[in-house]
Amino acid sequence: MIVSRAWRGKRYAVLGLARSGLATVHALLAGGASVAAWDSNEAARVLLQAPPLQGRGWGGAVTTSPALGETSPTPNPSPEGEGLLELADPLTLDLTGFAGVVVSPGVPINRHPIAEQARKAGVPLIGDIELFAEARADLPPHKVVGITGTNGKSTTTALIDHICRTAGRPSLAGGNIGLPILGRDPLPEGGVYVLELSSYQIDLTRSLDCDVAVLLNITPDHLDRYDGFEGYAASKARLFAMQSKGHAAVIGIGDAPSAAIARQVAVAGRSEDLTKIAPGVCMDQSRWPALQGPHNAQNALAAIAACEALGIDNASIDKGLETFPGLPHRMERVKTRDGVLYVNDSKATNPTSAAPALEAFDRIHWILGGKAKTDDLDACRPGFGHVVKAYTIGDAAEMFARLLSPDMPVEQSGTLDAAVKAAAAHAQPGETVLLSPACASFDQFRDYEARGQAFRDAVEALG
C-alpha cells in the first residue's frame, strides 16, 4: 500500500468506510498515524474489527461510550511502527489537534455538519487523493496525470493508462476508477499514476501538483453539491491552480466554462504549458474500434496530448489507440442476437453523457431513465433522429415519456428487465437495443455497474 512518513504520530478522523475509506484507514495505520474511524452503516463499522485490522490497536475490553450510545472496543497501544485505531464518530469528538478529517467523496460537505465542526476546530477536510499527494515524496520517482471533466473521464483515464502500459511504462489507474489509490502497491521508478478525479475529490484535495492535468468538458452536473453551476466549474479549475509552472495543462475548449479555465491558465503565465483541444477536429478513428464517435475523438486527442507530455513516442501512442479495449458499461457491445446489437452504456448517468451513444448507432431502441439529474433531455436531441422507439424506466419514466413523446414512440416499461424484453420484441435485424439511461441508478440499483450487469443478465436471459 501507499504510505507516508509525514503521517507518523498524527491523528486523523476517517468518515465513511466504503472501499476508499477502508483503504485510507489501512494506509494511515501503516504510516504510524492514529485513526478515529466511523460510518453510519453498522455493517461497515464491523469490517474494522475483521482481519487484517483486528489486533492493530483494538483492545480486548469493550466499554460503553456515552457519546456514541453503544459499546466500543477500547484502543490499546499498537505495535511499534503501527498507528492506533479507535471507533468514534467525529461529530462526537473534539477535533482540535487533528491533522485532518478524511471524508468519502460521497459525503455532501456543503451540508454535512462535519464541515462546520472541522472548520471550528481549524482542521482541514481532505480525501484520499490529498493523502496520496502527501505520500508522493516517499514514492519512487514518478509522474501523475489527473483527469477531470463532466463526461469522458473514465474512458480517457483508462486510455492514458493503456497507452503508458503499451509503451512499457509502469502505470496504474486510480482515483474515481478502479481500486482505491492508497490500497495499491507503489509503482517502480518511472511509473505513471493516472487519476480520474471527480469534482468531489478535487474539493477534498489541497496539494496535488499533477505533472499533467486534463480537463475534458464542463456541463451541468452535481449541482446539489454546489452554489450554482459557477461553483461546480470553479471546483474543476482548482486542478490547474494546484499545478506548478512548467507542468502540462490539457484543456478541451468546446464549452464556455472550460475555455474560460484555459484562459485563466494562460493569463497566469502558463501559456507554454497549455494544450487546447478544440471540438470538431476531423480524425481517422477507423483503426480504433473502441473509440468511435465524436466524443471519443476528443477523448483520444486529450489522451494523445497527455501522453506526448509524458514523453511517450508516437508509435506507442498509435498502438495504444488501436488496441484499447474500451470500458465496461461504456458503449459496451454485449451481444448480437437475431441480427440485433445490444449495447450497455449504463455509465451514461446524465443526458450529456448519453448523447454520444445516440449519435454512434443508427436505428436505436433506447432504454433510459432512473434517478434524473436534470428535468430535460436537450443534450440528447441531436440523436433523436436515430431512435426508433424509447422505453422509459425508474423514477424518471413518466417525465421522460412526456418529454420524448412529441418526437418518437415511447413505452413506459418501468423496470429494466421489462424494457429489455419489450425492446427485443420490437427490434429488427440491423437495429440496436441501447441502454443509455441519462440518469443516476440509485432509484433501482446500487450503482451504474449493478445496472449494467442487470442489463447484461437480461440480454442473456433472452436466449
Say whether 314 is catalytic: no
Residue 23's pLDDT is 94
> Where on the phi/psi map is residue 412: left (φ > 0), alpha (ψ -120 to 50), or beta?
beta
Residue 50's pLDDT is 60
332-461: CATH topology is Protein-Tyrosine Phosphatase; Chain A (3.90.190)
The residue annotated as part of the active site, out of 142, 153, 295, 347, is 153
Residue 70's pLDDT is 34
User: 3.40.50.300, 2.160.10.10, 3.40.1190.10, 1.10.10.10: which CATH number matches 136-323?
Assistant: 3.40.1190.10
Instruction: Count CB-CB contacts under 10 A for residue 30.
Output: 18
Residue 228's pLDDT is 82
Mean pLDDT per 10-residue interval, the chain, length 463 residues: 95 94 94 94 81 43 30 35 82 96 89 95 97 98 97 94 98 92 97 96 96 94 75 94 98 96 96 92 84 88 98 98 92 94 95 91 96 95 97 98 98 98 98 97 95 98 93
Q: Could you give the CA distance from residue 31 to residue 40 in angstroms, rounded to a whole number?
A: 25
Superfamily grouping for domain 5-126: NAD(P)-binding Rossmann-like Domain (3.40.50.720)
The residue annotated as part of the active site, out of 112, 222, 371, 421, is 222
Q: Could you give the CA distance from residue 202 to residue 239 in angstroms, rounded to a whole number?
A: 7
For 255, phi and psi rounded to 5 degrees?
-135, 155
DSSP assignment of 11-77: EEEEE--SHHHHHHHHHHHHTT-EEEEE-SSHHHHHHTTSTTTTTSSEEEEEEEETTTTEEEEEE-P
Whether the CB-CB separation of 82 and 103 falls below 8 Å is answered with: no
Residue 46's pLDDT is 85
Report the DSSP pairing between strands 332-337 and 142-148.
Answer: unpaired
Q: Where do the structural domains in the chain lie, given as residue ranges? A: 5-126, 136-323, 332-461
Q: Could you give the CA distance from residue 440 to residue 373 in angstroms, rounded to a whole number?
A: 7
Q: Could you give the CA distance from residue 291 to residue 286 in angstroms, rounded to a whole number?
A: 9
Residue 59's pLDDT is 31
Residue 110 C-alpha cell reads as: 456543503
Q: Could you give the CA distance from residue 432 to residue 207 in angstroms, rounded to a whole number?
A: 46
Instruction: Count CB-CB contacts under 10 A for residue 266.
Output: 16
Residue 382 C-alpha cell reads as: 441531436
Task: Count how many Cα atoms sit within 13 Å of the Cα of residue 116 in the half-sphere of its side chain.
Answer: 4
What's the chain's average pLDDT?
90
Residue 289's pLDDT is 82
Whether the CB-CB separation of 232 and 215 falls below 8 Å is answered with: no
Say whether 162 is catalytic: no
Q: Which helix (H) or strand (E) holds 119?
A: helix 113-121
Q: Which long-range contacts (CB under 8 A, 24 or more apart) does 117-125 make?
A: 117/90, 117/91, 121/94, 121/95, 121/96, 122/96, 123/95, 123/96, 123/98, 123/99, 124/100, 124/206, 125/100, 125/101, 125/204
Which of these, 119, 39, 135, lies nearest to 87 by C-alpha position? Answer: 39
DSSP assignment of 341-369: EEEE-TT--SHHHHHHHHHHSSSEEEEEE
The residue annotated as part of the active site, out of 151, 176, 296, 299, is 176
Strand partners, 60: none
Report the DSSP pairing between strands 171-175 and 142-148.
Answer: unpaired
Say whether 371 is catalytic: no
Residue 22's pLDDT is 93
Q: Could you give the CA distance from residue 114 to residue 15 in angstroms, rounded to a whole number?
A: 9
